[in-house]
């Protein structure tokens, strides 16, 4: 489970880097960098290269520990330096977007901490616990928003799923229950496995088709294609889903290792 989570998580991070370099911009919504920043394009490219390098390092297990620590620091920086201030500078975001993008970043931090902790010899129980809690406290936020805005969630459900409103409410309740289990440490590993499976299902059956149709459509359930220029948000959401999928399974894999040890990374 840890290796599967590592691979999927790394693909999500690589995707962030590729999208950032393609659009010469920061990660959509997760990095609300003000447009007036001097050298905006330069720093956007640098950020994209950093994400790409970190994702590839985790994917191929070269300098993995360094890459994971750099990512954890980057994610924490996004929350403290970007997301928290944006709640005060643009309070309208508190209706929904701020909670989503902030706690997606917290959840990704949790997955990264779990990866670092599981790779330490002996296993770093404190980091694994921190990763479990960070991921766990994030999920109920998403679940509550599903229940508050069910119509918006149902509108994203692809047509091959019946009863879209049912899925909006069901996934909302599932995320609340799974997050509470993770945060409390009760049935935490099954909750993390199921959470990763849910996010993976969304990635493959919702975000992949929508991204494909946005680029190459038309598709009846999406509409006419918007091309590369209009696909930035959809592609970012796709890779967020992959990263969340991987992060959940990283937490599950780390919890599954218990007190197991792993030889120190030699690369």
Q: What is the pLDDT of residues 17-33, one digit of tens each?
A: 999 999 999 998 899 99
Domain that holds residue 75: 2-257
Q: Is the pLDDT of residue 106 over 90?
A: yes
pLDDT value at position 263?
Answer: 37
pLDDT above 90 covers a percentage of the chain that reads 78
**Cis ω before 172 (30° cut-off from 0):** no
Q: Is residue 89 part of a domain?
A: yes
pLDDT digits (tens, 9 = 90+) for 46-94: 999 999 999 999 999 999 999 999 999 999 999 999 999 999 988 888 8
The answer to whether position 267 is within a domain reads: no
Q: Is residue 262 part of a domain?
A: no
Q: Is residue 226 part of a domain?
A: yes
Average pLDDT taken over every residue of the chain: 92
Say if 265 falls within a structural domain: no
Residue 223: phi and psi, rounded to 5, are 110, -165
Cα–Cα distance, 36 to 20 (Å, whole number): 18
Contacts within 8 Å (CB) and 24+ apart, 100-103: 100/29, 100/141, 100/142, 100/145, 101/29, 101/30, 101/32, 103/137, 103/138, 103/141, 103/142
Q: Which two tokens stand for residue 231?
A: 């696909």
pLDDT at 257: 77
Count: domains in the chain: 1
Predicted pLDDT at 259: 40
CB contact at 8 A, 141 and 103: yes
Q: What is the pLDDT of residue 258?
A: 63
pLDDT tens for each residue of 207-238: 999 999 989 988 877 878 888 888 899 999 99
Residue 131: per-residue pLDDT:
96
Q: Where are the beta strands (DSSP E) in the chain?
A: none
Task: Classify residue 48 as exposed, middle or buried by CB count within 10 Å of its CB (0-12, 13-18, 19+).
Answer: buried
> Average pLDDT of 138-156?
94
Q: What is the pLDDT of residues 66-79, one digit of tens each?
A: 999 999 999 999 99
| Model confidence, pTM | 0.92
With respect to residue 248, please indicate whether it lies within any of the assigned structural domains: yes
Task: Identify the band that residue 120 occupies on the pLDDT scale cut at 50, 70 and 90.
Answer: confident
DSSP string across 136-192: HHHHHHHHHHHHHSHHHHHTTS-TTSS-HHHHHHHHHHHHHHHHHHHHHTSSHHHHH
For residue 266, is it within any domain? Answer: no
Looking at the domain assignment, is residue 12 inside a domain? yes
């Amino acid at each position: 489970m840890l290796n599967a989570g590592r691979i999927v998580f790394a693909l999500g991070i690589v995707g962030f880097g590729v999208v950032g370099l393609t659009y010469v911009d920061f990660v959509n919504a997760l990095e609300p960098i003000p447009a007036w920043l001097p050298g905006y394009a330069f720093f956007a490219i640098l950020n994209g290269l950093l994400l790409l390098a970190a994702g590839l390092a985790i994917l191929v297990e070269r300098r993995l520990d360094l890459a994971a620590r750099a990512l954890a620091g980057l994610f924490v920086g996004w929350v403290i330096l970007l997301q928290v201030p944006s709640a005060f500078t643009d309070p309208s975001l508190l209706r929904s977007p701020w909670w989503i993008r902030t706690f997606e970043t917290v959840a990704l931090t949790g997955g990264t901490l779990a990866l670092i902790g599981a790779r330490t010899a002996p296993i770093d129980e404190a980091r694994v616990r921190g990763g479990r809690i960070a991921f766990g406290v994030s999920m109920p936020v998403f679940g509550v928003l599903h229940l508050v805005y069910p119509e918006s969630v149902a509108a994203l459900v692809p047509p091959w799923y019946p009863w879209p409103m049912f899925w909006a409410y069901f996934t909302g309740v599932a995320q609340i229950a799974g997050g509470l289990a993770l945060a409390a440490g009760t049935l935490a590993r099954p909750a993390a496995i199921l959470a990763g499976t849910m996010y993976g299902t969304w990635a493959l059956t919702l975000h992949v088709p929508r991204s494909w149709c946005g680029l190459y459509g038309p598709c009846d359930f999406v509409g006419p294609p918007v091309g590369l220029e209009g696909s930035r948000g959809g592609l970012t959401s796709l890779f967020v889903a992959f990263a969340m999928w991987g992060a959940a399974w990283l937490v599950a894999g780390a919890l599954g290792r218990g007190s197991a040890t792993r030889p120190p990374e030699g690369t």
